[in-house]
Homo-oligomer: A and B are copies of this chain.
C-alpha cells in the first residue's frame, strides 16, 4: 500500500507518519511506499523499510497535486492547511492553500483518467460551525462558519462529498476538536492557552490564562487525532453512506475542569503555575467557538477520543515528557 500525506511536516503529520510506520499495515495491507509533502520537506521516518519520497512543495500550486498523485497512492491524508489565524489575516493566502489547493488535489485525481479512485481523508475542523449554538451540536446542525478558515474547510467538505458521490474519489472528512495538549512552544493562536495552561506548568513554567475558568470547549489529544485519521482511512463507503463529513468525538470540559485534572495528576504546586490575566480579545474570539457536540455518527462508526481530560494530560506526559513531570 502507498500512502500520501500532505502537510506531513506539521505536528499531526509527523505523529501520523510515525504511527503508520509503527503499525506497518494500518488498514490490512502493509505500507510499502510513503509520499510526504509539505512546504518544507518532511523528515523521512526512521525504521521504515519501504520507499519514501519526501518533497518540499506548495499545495497551492496545481502542479504539486498532479506530481503528488503521480505514484497513485491508495490512501491520501490531506492535512496541509493555513491555520485559522493566518487564514483570517491573509485572505488570499488562506483561499489559495485551503480552498484552491484542496480543489487542485481533487481535480488532479478526477483528471487522472485511469480509474484512479483513492481513499482521501480530509482534516476538517469544528471551525465549520459558528455561534450561536445549541447546548450540544448534533450531527445535523448547519455550517455557518465565522472565519475564512472555517469557510474554506466547509467548502472542501462539500466538494469532497460531491466528488465522492460522483465516484471521482472515495472521501471522508473528519472535523477535529481542538488538539490538546499541543507539544512545543507557545504560539499566538487564540486557542493556544488551552494547551499552554497544561504544557507550561508541567514543564516548570508559568502559563497565562486569558479567559474565565467557566469557558467550556471540545478537546482531543494529538494521539486521538492520529487515531481518528487512521480509523477514517479504514472505513468502507458502505459504512459511511453519502454523508461523509463527520464531527469527531472529544472531551467537553471547562477550563476549571482542565485545571482540576492537572491538579489531580501533577499536584497543587504544578497547578499553581497558572496565572489569570484576562484578555478581552481572546475572550471575545473564544465566545464564538463551539463548546459541546453530540457526535453520534462518529461514535457509532467506532471513532474514540479520550474519556476525560485527565486522560488527555496522561497522553501528553507519556508521549511528550517520557512519563516525567517537573514538580
Which A residues fall within an 8 A CB radius of B?
Answer: 91, 130, 134, 139-146, 148, 151, 154-155, 158-159, 161-162, 165-166, 242-243
Contact indicator A143/B158 (Cβ below 8 Å): yes
Q: A143-B158, A144-B243 are in contact. List 10 more A-B contacts (CB 8 A).
A: A91-B166, A139-B142, A140-B141, A141-B142, A144-B242, A145-B162, A151-B161, A154-B158, A155-B158, A155-B159
Contact indicator A159/B166 (Cβ below 8 Å): no
Q: How many copies does the complex hold?
A: 2
Given A130-B242, A155-B155, A242-B130, does the pair A144, B161 have CB atoms closer than 8 Å?
yes
Contact indicator B161/A148 (Cβ below 8 Å): no
Chain B contacts for A143, CB-based, 8 A: 142-143, 158
Name 5 A/B residue pairs within 8 A (Cβ), A-sorted. Answer: A139-B142, A140-B141, A143-B143, A148-B166, A151-B159
A155→B115 CA distance, assembly (Å): 27
A165→B140 CA distance, assembly (Å): 23
A140→B143 CA distance, assembly (Å): 9
Contact indicator B145/A158 (Cβ below 8 Å): yes
A170→B243 CA distance, assembly (Å): 31
Contact indicator A151/B146 (Cβ below 8 Å): no
Chain B contacts for A142, CB-based, 8 A: 139-143
CB distance from A74 to the nearest CB of B (A): 24
CB distance from A22 to the nearest CB of B (A): 35
Which 3 residue pairs are nearest across A and B when measured between Cβ atoms? A151-B162, A142-B142, A155-B155
Contact indicator B144/A162 (Cβ below 8 Å): no
CB distance from A51 to the nearest CB of B (A): 34
Chain B contacts for A155, CB-based, 8 A: 155, 158-159
Most buried by B among A154, A159, A162, A242: A162
CB distance from A225 to the nearest CB of B (A): 23
Chain B contacts for A162, CB-based, 8 A: 145, 148, 151
A158→B151 CA distance, assembly (Å): 6
Chain B contacts for A154, CB-based, 8 A: 158
A166→B161 CA distance, assembly (Å): 27
A227→B148 CA distance, assembly (Å): 32
Most buried by B among A148, A155, A159: A155
A141→B140 CA distance, assembly (Å): 6
Chain B contacts for A130, CB-based, 8 A: 242
Chain B contacts for A140, CB-based, 8 A: 134, 141-142
Q: Taking CB as reference atom, which chain B residue is nearest A245?
A: B144
CB distance from A167 to the nearest CB of B (A): 11
A175→B282 CA distance, assembly (Å): 35
A4→B243 CA distance, assembly (Å): 37
